[in-house]
Amino acid sequence: MAILVFPSAILLSFFHLFLTFNLANSEPFLGVNYGQVADNLPPPSATAKLLQSTAIEKVRLYGSDPTIIKALANTGKGIVIGTANGDVPSLASDPNFAKIWVATNVVPYYPASNIILVTVGNEVITSTDQNLMNQLVPAVQNVQNALDAVSLGGKVKVSTVHSMAVLSNSEPPSAGKFHAEYNTVLQGLLSFNNATGSPFAINPYPYFAFRDDPGRAENLEYCLFQPNSGRVDSNSNLKYMNMFDAQVDAVRSALDSSGFKNVEIVVAETGWPYKGDNNEIGPSLENAKGYNSGLISHLRSMVGTPLMPGKSVDTYLFALYDEDLKPGPASERAFGLYNPDQSMIYDAGLSQQQQINTTSPVMAPTPDVSKSPETTPVVSKPPETTPNVSKSPVVSARAGPRPTANKAEFFHGATTLPSSIIFFTVFILMLL
């Protein structure tokens, strides 16, 4: 009998160690945005291999490119796909359109491609298109119904993505509040999120908060997770050591005050440009590395935010690659983490070797970029022409980069649904 117990004990011990190691190295909170508004991107198969060499566990697409979805099959990476803003009216008015969209973009690939979320539109509420805004809730509901009809409801969640401009107040974080003009549509969306367990997806950008108030004391250090004296919330007396936590908690407060304490937050986008035009304040290689490496260390620490301690919010970095066809200032085309040849633009700490230490300090050291290519200098104080505002909100007037369209929408117009439905066979692999 003892002979039989001994090997079992060894096996159980080995299994425990194996499980502990894998849990320690599992970072499901780390994701990345994979935009395609570019003409120099590597093939999706190469990108899939790149992602497998990193600590990134989730990928957000702005559309539903089948070549990318298929390339990510059997990688274990969670995949977020999105509908075009231009598809929202058809999704809202025609349940069959929603069924066709799901049959075309989800059913043929799931579960080999681990699609976890469908985002219906991107930053629709702050798009100033009232008609689109009014159709958002029924569009989301019809996509959910279409997933339910093929027994994928609950397995694949449905939501939409918001810019920080949905907030009317954000400082201090405990006073976070949604704009009253968005109340009707937000109540509908949040009720849906609450009922289905889908997340409230938001795009916080400390970069824009810094850019709009660069003269505020220690603002750059506060935004880059570097040592600073912190800011105390005058209502809650909680102390904030970085802008990311302050922005996320402002959203938490807005959700709580609206009666939706159980709705989880997902950070759908956040990042910092590594270069920009000469008149742009804040973009530099050093600042981008400081922000993203500091954020990753903060997430890995599992410290959480002052209002949500002890857990890390799922966070999708913006972005995997630069999108060289995006309009606007140079910074719009300089949020990438990797070059088209898959080399790192800078080391943000995403390699698999760097994910083993899950107790990295929350404060990121100032990066050494002595060997980096020439970049825009770090700006610690504004030029003379910039007004020095004594107190700025957590949310800037411009709450994020220009919304990223999916590739088909950018090049060919509003809708992205192919003309025919793809039929499929799903193969189930069983591990014995």
Q: Which residues belong to the active site?
A: 123, 269
Q: Is the dihedral of CA 114, 116, 120, 126 positive or negative?
A: negative
Q: Hey, how many other C-beta atoms are within 10 angstroms of the C-beta on 172? A: 21
Q: Hey, how many other C-beta atoms are within 10 angstroms of the C-beta on 168? A: 16
